[in-house]
Amino acid sequence: MRHSLGKRYGKAYIPDYTGVQPMGAIETRTFRSGNSVAVRLPKSFGLPAGTMVTMEQVGDTVMVKPAVDADAEKAKVSELIRRLRSIGPITPIEERAPIEFPDRTGME
């Protein structure tokens, strides 16, 4: 029975044994490439040649995902901070006048 990766809890995955392959799942075979075992990734997966990836093995599941570029992520956060600062300081909240309800006879 095939299973999807399931839900992640910290560094652990709880497998989801639904018998359904995740959308975009493709079966293929590994092959030898020098002293390593390799697998071809279809173009439809959107990883261009030369992309740095992170590989992680969780039980019998191997995950391959694009590596995070720390410099690019730092630049994104710096840009966000710059844009937030350009908005200016937060103004104090204005106090409203209290709501006065009209007197209604018989409504006590």
The model's confidence at residue 11, banded by pLDDT at 50, 70 and 90, is low
CA distance 24 to 5: 13
CA distance 89 to 29: 58
- Residue 83 has a pLDDT of 93
- Domain residues for the domain of 9 are 1-19+51-87
pLDDT in tens, 29-64: 889 999 999 988 888 888 888 988 999 998 888 888
Looking at the structure of the chain, the number of domains it has is: 1
Q: Is residue 34 part of a domain?
A: no
Q: Is residue 24 part of a domain?
A: no
Q: Is residue 42 part of a domain?
A: no
Q: Is residue 73 part of a domain?
A: yes
Q: Is residue 45 part of a domain?
A: no
Q: Is residue 11 part of a domain?
A: yes
CA distance 71 to 82: 16
Q: Is residue 31 part of a domain?
A: no
- Residue 23 has a pLDDT of 56
Q: Is residue 99 part of a domain?
A: no
The model's confidence at residue 3, banded by pLDDT at 50, 70 and 90, is very low
